[in-house]
Amino acid sequence: MVKLSVIVPFFNVQTFAPDVLRSLRANAREDFEFILVDDCSTDGTPALLERAGRHELPGAVVVRHERNGGLATARNTGLDAARGEYVTFLDGDDWLAPGYYDRLVAYIEELAVDFVRTDHVQCTGRTRTVQRVPHGRRGVVLDPRSAILPADRSTSVDYPYAWAGIYHRRLLDEGLLHFRDGLRTAEDRPWIWRLHREARTFAVAGMLGVFYRRGVATSLTQIGDVRQLDFLRAFDQVIEETARDRDAGEFLPKAVRTYCAIMAHHLTNIERFEPRVARALRTKSAAALRRLPPELVKDAVNSMDYDRAALLRRLRRRPAGVSRAAKAAV
């Protein structure tokens, strides 16, 4: 039986793929499988994956998309192919410490929880920074719902990285591990909220082994095109699903506050977007603010610093259906 399925999407990362594949080889075990999903790369990535699948990486399974679908869709392809008792993820430009997956599997088996969340090392150029799961209790069985709040602090749902953890197969069988197809960014946000609302148990491990590469030129976090606006669809999904929860009254303030904070972040950095996308960001953000519960938006905006609050207050005052010129002038 396959103990662990590791799902790794790749798209035009020929510069980084050799590091990823070497680190997977240093984590190989006869009962581990590595599902390498090529999301229709147009550079040298497919050739590297083919070699890995033929003889360089034990347990490799190579799947190729006929057309590019984005990270969420590529992960779903991997989930559909996964046979393991446990599942985890890695991105095609990150890498692992040797033997990391051995330790991670032993940890989740010892605690017998639905999922485990882990710290990671953020790598920007030569700088290394440890990023911690925002939850203080380590190595004990916890209720995932208890880690959503408080609304005014960073909590586990604000640490959405799918690759920072390991997940029992029963979550996959219950439909909790798939992502919303087609989301190009913020795909982890509805996913982590759903996990914390619907899973039964989780734990946090004070364990390092994932190295997350920041500042990659091809990463969507570095590109100011229309795909960045998918965060709006992602958070609309968070709001919609959380509003149906039995504890919606407690959880919605947190969801709205986070949505508004991400919105303000993008608006504050609007100069990095193409002009057409910047206009769409303003228009779509204004519409999103109108859809949200007014009192919760008011509370969220009042909790912000002056500059970010002013941005959102201007958008809230904007009438629906203003002219293109007015939209461009805001």
Q: Are residues 208 and 253 in the same domain?
A: no
Domain endpoint, select from 201, 217, 233: 217
Token output for 237: 């999904």
Q: Are residues 164 and 280 in the same domain?
A: no
pLDDT of residue 323: 41
Q: Are residues 212 and 243 in the same domain?
A: no
What's the predicted TM-score (pTM) here?
A: 0.92
CATH code at position 124: 3.90.550.10
Q: Are residues 110 and 201 in the same domain?
A: yes
Per-residue model confidence as pLDDT tens digits over 55-102: 899 999 999 999 999 999 999 999 999 999 999 999 999 999 999 999
Per-residue model confidence as pLDDT tens digits over 162-181: 999 999 999 999 999 999 99
pLDDT of residue 236: 98
Q: Are residues 180 and 309 in the same domain?
A: no
* For residue 226, pLDDT beyond 90: no
Domain endpoint, select from 175, 193, 217: 217
Maximum alpha-carbon separation in the chain: 62
Q: Are residues 131 and 27 in the same domain?
A: yes
Q: Are residues 193 and 234 in the same domain?
A: no
Please, which pLDDT band fits residue 327 given cuts at 50, 70 and 90? very low
Q: Are residues 181 and 294 in the same domain?
A: no
- Domain range holding 28? 4-217
Mean residue pLDDT of the chain comes to: 93
Per-residue model confidence as pLDDT tens digits over 232-272: 999 999 999 999 999 999 999 999 999 999 999 999 999 99
Could you tell me if 220 and 106 are in contact, meaning their C-beta atoms sit under 8 angstroms apart? no
Q: Are residues 63 and 143 in the same domain?
A: yes
Q: Are residues 155 and 228 in the same domain?
A: no
The domain total for the chain is 2
Q: Are residues 98 and 167 in the same domain?
A: yes
Q: Are residues 312 and 239 in the same domain?
A: yes
Domain endpoint, select from 192, 217, 242: 217
